[in-house]
Amino acid sequence: MPPAAQVDGIFRALSDPTRRHVLERLSRSPASVSELAQPYKMALPSFLEHLRVLEGCGLVSSRKQGRVRTYQLAPDRLKLAEDWLGRQRTMWERRLDRLDSYLMAMKEEETE
């Protein structure tokens, strides 16, 4: 999978509040499907789909022991999203800097 497509999937996954909430929950500790589902009034199969999306883009991983499937975070994936945002930020900051110096120059000229 090309990295751009991976980033697509990660941002897509993060665009749903249920999924973000699950990630927040998992940042405290791993948890089973039913533990994760418990706060939501959603039907279980619907909720499972969210977990599948999170696992599909690599933000979480799961393992089944007996009849219980346990999910946990896979933190390295979040970096892809963070990296993109970080790059963006430095770019637009650079741009604002340029704008700044442009405005400064304007001001200089103005006061001459």
**SS3 of 31, please?**
strand
Alpha helices in the chain (DSSP H): 3-14, 17-26, 33-37, 44-56, 78-111
**Angle of the 44-56 helix axis to the 3-14 helix axis, nearest 10:** 150
Residue choice 42, 43, 68, 91 for contact with a copy of itself (CB under 8 A): 91
Residues contacting 37, CB < 8 A, separation 6+: 44, 47, 48
Residues that bind DNA (CB under 7 A): 12, 15-16, 18, 32-35, 41-50, 53, 64-69
User: From the CB of 66, what's the least distance to a copy of itself, in Å?
Assistant: 15
Of the residues 4, 41, 66, 108, which one makes contact with a copy of itself according to CB under 8 A: 4
16 is a contact residue toward a copy of itself (CB under 8 A)? yes
Query: How far is the C-alpha of 65 from the C-alpha of 63, rounded, in Å?
Result: 7
Residues that bind a copy of itself (CB under 8 A): 4-5, 7-9, 11-12, 14-17, 20, 23-24, 27-30, 61, 63, 70, 72-73, 75, 78, 81-82, 84-86, 88-89, 91-96, 100, 102-103, 106, 109-110
